[in-house]
Every structure is written in structure tokens, then in C-alpha cells.
Structure 1
């Protein structure tokens, strides 16, 4: 009498006999290793392979769609600005006049070390190019910039993706600093996140155009802010305009340039977008360096 053939065992659990199998690869599998599928059931190995093969849905900027929409970078930038302000207020012993304390010099050491002064940058103090973008003259200046960053960041960060959003913010900051170096007096001091915020204004306007949505409200908002910049004394017009131009160009490079250059794949489009951001940032740095050399 012939012996009964042994029952097949699960490929992942050899000690478990099973009469089930994966409908994709045909290998025997126990109930624990099978997952329901549109047709039959797939083993966990085939499920993982299928997930890798599935193309991720991406936004127009190349960010993975469906990820968390919580704008962590926006909140992080706001936190950094608030912490820096708190340090300057503590050092100056004045919550409302954290920069000068009513005198002609900066009573906060951090403010003194980071405020953007073209002639001092020319002496090699490059930290001021970025550091000045996190300083603010008083709580109203801070509150206005952080409110604008909060409003724009929540709408712009998810479609751009966190890293691209941060890159646009920093490139806009560099653009504002470059304009200040180029057009302001050698001893004129500038501080604030306004250049970066104006860059986000330009970037979200470009995003609306890319999505074929009405950008009229952004045109009005930018127009009002520019009018205020030109109307109120001691506001850095150059910093605002420089940030606006840099942020707008950065968004154009991310959202329109890949298509214009005929990018065939998502990878190529993302590479072109990142390259355009790098080029704009390098141009801003080159302007800052050239101006520093002429002042040195």
C-alpha cells in the first residue's frame, strides 16, 4: 500500500501544513501569511513586491501625495523664529525693544552678531546672511511675519513637500539678503523673515497658476504688502523684493521648468527642479560674495 503524500507546508512556516496557496506565485502559505486580494489571496511576500511596483502618486511639485498634511517645517520655522526672539529679548532685558533698547547700539549680543550689515559681512561674518532672517525688531514685526508664514506655509508645504518647501524658504531668504547687500548702504542694518515670507508669496502664486486656479487674491495681497513696504520708513524694500523674486523663480523652476525642458519621467522632473533651486541659491550667494568683495 502506497503511503499518503504529505501535505504541503507554508513557505514561511515549514512546521505548518496547509492546503492554501498564494494565487499570485502559487506557493503554499498558511492563513497567517495570506492577505485578501481583488482576485484570491496573496502571500505577504507578493504583497510587499506589489507595493514596491506600484507607482506613487505625486503632486505637481513631485512630492508624494497622501503623506501627512501637517506642515511640520512651517511650525518648525515659526518655533525657531520665536526662540531666537526670546533670546534677544532676554539678552536686551526688554520684551518690546529687543534690538536697541532705546540706544544706538544693539543690546542683545545675538542681535549684534546676526543682524545683516553689508560692510560687516564683507569682513567674513557670513552667518549674518542667514542669521538675520531669524531676527525681528519687536513683537509686532515677529507676529506679522509668523502669521504670514503660518497662513502660507499650511497651504504651500504639502504640495511642495517638506524639503522643497524648506529649500524655497531658504532660497528666498538668500535672495532677500543678496538684494540688501547689493542695494542698501554698507552700514545699514537689516533683519527679519520678510524676505523669505515674500518668497513664499511668490511661490504660492506660481503654484496657483500651475494648478490653473485663480491667483487674484495673491496678486492683491502682494500688491498691498509692496505698497506698505514703499510707504513706511525703515522697511527693507530691497529685502522684500529680493525675496519675492527668488521665491517666484524657485517655484517656476520646480513647477514649470521640468515640463518646458521635456522631462519624460518623474525622476527627471524632480532632478530639474532641485537643480533650478540650487542655481538660484548659488546666484544669490555669488551676488553676496561679489558685493562683499567690493566692500572689503
Structure 2
């Protein structure tokens, strides 16, 4: 018998194909891929992997108690990129609306703290009660290069993060990242500097990707290099709302860390509390900044 303890770097056990950090001695009875306890789905004989069950090639009870779960505890969906596609569709739809309507729509939806709009001919802004701008600005673009960059970012990083979190948790992450980016821009750049774009969401997904890479025990050097280069571009290129980038990055990393490291027994409670905590911080900042501006 091998005296080495299980889980050491020298263990000969294979690693789960969905959770490379977890060693296992169990394999799918259909495709023979190694699967950990989190991925095992009871079948008539042995266990099967989520891929075989989802494709219909297995006989496991996917709708039962052993339904496969994502790394964060969400349900494994057949289309692991559905929310990402919806977000991209919303951004493209709003961009087409801007092309049709013009500057007036931009003036109605962009992030403004408290200022006189020459287009609308009136005082507008979050401090004037238009809180919706904190969300609509995160889906608004004027320049083709701007929306192209953000759509590519949503597709690349959304494709990595959404399958790991599940639809509901991923949607919450995106909304909180976009909101937090706008809130930090409102706090620092308000009242007169307008801001728009899905960059807060994209950087929130980058923050989530960093946490996921560390959780999966990937080589962090290329991850850190990419984040460093992204932040360098953020702070050195003119016309970039660094506040939205940093706010989204921090919120995305915090929310994802809570989702992935919540104790198994209280996973949902901790995840809900983390999302609620970020939301309360955002609301507190908005209330305080609005009071200061008005």
C-alpha cells in the first residue's frame, strides 16, 4: 500500500475532469472520465458524469437529488452561456436604438450625477432622482469600437464564468458589477462628467475569472499579467472611466469569492448575504453622494 496521504502532490489518483483540483477514484460508467463526489450522478449501475446525463446518453436521475451542480452550487444548464448571450443582445439592442434615436436617448440613459443637459434642456442626474441611470448606463454605447470591445469581453469572460457559477448567480454577479462600477463613477466623477458602457460588467467578470483561476489552482502568472495590463490601459488611455473599471473589478472579485468559498452547510445564506452586502454598500454610497450634491 502506498503510504503517501491522499491529496499530496505525488498522489497517483486522477483528477476530476470538471474540478481539476479534486482527486478521485471514481469514473463515469459511460465515458470513463474521472468524476468527484460533486459531479457524481447515481445511475442504475455506478455513477455517471454531468455531460453524459445532459446529452441523454446516460441513465442517471438528473432531476433528482443528485443533479449536477456548478462550482458555486448552481444547476448545470444545457446552455451554459444563455445569460451571456442575453446580456450581449441587450447591449446590441440598446446600441441600435441609439443609432436610430440619436443623442437624446444617450442623454436620457447615460450616467450623470447632477447637471444641466443641453440636449434635454433641464437638470438631470442620479441626484435628481434618476437612479435608473446607474443601470442603464451599463448597457449604453455610442462608439462602435466601444461596444465591440465590451461585447468581446462579455463573450470571452462570460463564457468562462457563467458555466462555473450557474445562471442565477452569474446574472447577480453581472448586475452587481455593473452597478458598482457606475456607483464608484458617481461617487468620484459626478456631477458633470457623463459615463456609459458595459466595462464595469466586463471588469467584474475579469475579477471573477481571477478568483476562479485561483480556486482551480491554475498558473496565476498569466492571469495577473493580463489584469495588470488591463489596468495599465485603464489608467493611461484618455477618456476611460477608470472608476467603472475598478468598481466592477472589485465587486466581481468579492462576490465570486463569497460564492465559491461559502461553507457547504450555509452556502446559499452566505452567497445571498454577500450579494446583499455589496448592494447595501452601493446604496449607501448613492444616498450619501446624492445628499452631498443636492
What is the TM-score when the length of structure 2 is the normalising length?
A: 0.73
Q: Distance in 2 between matches of 1:185 and 1:157?
A: 32
Query: Which of structures 1 and 2 has the bigger CA Rg?
Result: 1
Matched ranges for 1:200-211 at <5 A: 200-211=205-216
Matched ranges for 1:1-296 at <5 A: 37-38=44-45, 54-65=65-76, 67-92=77-102, 107=103, 109-119=104-114, 120-256=125-261, 258-259=262-263, 263=264, 265=265, 268-296=266-294
Aligned pairs, number: 228
* Structure 1 gaps, min length 5: 1-35, 40-49, 93-106
Calculate the aligned-residue CA RMSD, in Å. Answer: 1.9
Displacement of 1:218 in angstroms is: 2.4
What residue is the counterpart of 1:27 in the other structure? none
Displacement of 1:88 in angstroms is: 0.4
Displacement of 1:52 in angstroms is: 6.9
Question: 1:81-122, CA deviations, whole angstroms, 9 ceiling, x for partnerless residues?
Answer: 000000001112xxxxxxxxxxxxxx2x22111110111110
What is the TM-score when the length of structure 1 is the normalising length?
A: 0.73
Q: Distance in 2 between matches of 1:69 and 1:154?
A: 11
Q: Distance in 1 between matches of 2:200 and 2:63?
A: 41
- Distance verdict in 2 for CA 1:185–1:210, change over 3 Å: same
Displacement of 1:37 in angstroms is: 4.9
Displacement of 1:69 in angstroms is: 4.0
SS at match of 1:235: coil
Displacement of 1:77 in angstroms is: 0.3
* Structure 2 gaps, min length 5: 1-42, 47-60, 115-124
- Distance verdict in 2 for CA 1:68–1:215, change over 3 Å: farther
- Distance verdict in 2 for CA 1:51–1:77, change over 3 Å: closer
Contact 2:80 2:166 in 1 (8 A): no
Displacement of 1:51 in angstroms is: 7.0
